[in-house]
Amino acid sequence: MFRRIVCSMVFAATATAHAQIGRRTNAASSEPGYWVGLSLGYADGFTTSDEATGSTWQLGYTSQLRATLEKTVQRGVTVGVAAGFSNAPLTYSAGRSFDPNCPGSCQAHADVTQYIGFLRAGGGGTGFHYLFNLEGGATTISNFREEITSAKLQPTAQSYDLTFGFGGGFGYGLSQSGEIYIGELTDFILHSQAAGQTSQSAPRQTTFRAGFRIGF
């Protein structure tokens, strides 16, 4: 009798363990293999000088549109690529050579484009969760043009500046394959500085963004 009771208990425990393992496996495998996303951010301005022209760019705050593609590497962790674009206002101060389109200083606009690879941790499943991001890539500041006449300003050639950053935020899983999120990210942009105009710290841009992503 005692032997039968022990055998029944062992069988019940084994069946329960198998059921729990199966539920965990199904939960992990239910997360999508890939994600696509879109976000809109508020990007702070920053100031940098330019080695090639000797000019100084004081960029103002602007909005940034960013698209992402991610691959799930384990539950709640993805690696991905992102492309961000903004059209930033700036105060442009001419450098070593005289520019008739902007003698001395003028108001202008420039395109700020980022190409980023990133690691994202947090999330998975439904409900609220924390998010953490690490990223690195390149930023290019180009297409300088005077505000009123849209005349081209120097430099006309693009340069790709090493960029790295980190940040975090909060997400809310609407389903296993849908999520909305908000977060803040700080990027350090290592642009070559003009001689005699060195800065004590690297230019950095903080962006607060809200967005969504969809799994497939």
- Residue 98's Cβ-count burial label (10 Å; 0-12, 13-18, 19+) is exposed
Rounded Cα distance between 59 and 56, Å, is 10
Residue 99: per-residue pLDDT:
81
Do 165 and 137 touch, CB atoms closer than 8 A? no
Contacts of 126 by beta carbon, 8 Å cutoff, 6+ apart: 173, 174, 175, 176
Rounded Cα distance between 36 and 65, Å, is 14
Separation in Å, CA 201 to CA 44, 54, 140, 149? 16, 18, 19, 34
Contacts of 201 by beta carbon, 8 Å cutoff, 6+ apart: none
DSSP state string for 90-143:
EEEE--SS--TTSSSEEEEEEEEEEEEEEEEE---SSEEEEEEEEEEEEEEEEE
Do 165 and 135 touch, CB atoms closer than 8 A? yes
Residue 53 DSSP one-character state: T
Residues belonging to the chain: 216
Sign of CA dihedral 189, 66, 53, 145: negative
Residue 1: per-residue pLDDT:
45
| Average pLDDT along the chain, 216 residues, taken 10 residues at a time | 42 43 47 96 95 92 97 95 98 85 94 98 88 97 95 92 97 95 97 75 93 96
- As given in the structure block, the two tokens for residue 89 are 């206002």
Residue 204: per-residue pLDDT:
93
Q: Is 149 helix (H, G, I), strand (E, B) or coil?
A: coil
Report pLDDT digits (tens) over 150-179.
999 999 888 999 999 999 999 999 999 999
Residue 14: per-residue pLDDT:
43
How is domain 32-215 classified at the architecture level of CATH? Beta Barrel (2.40)
The domain limits of the chain are 1-30, 32-215
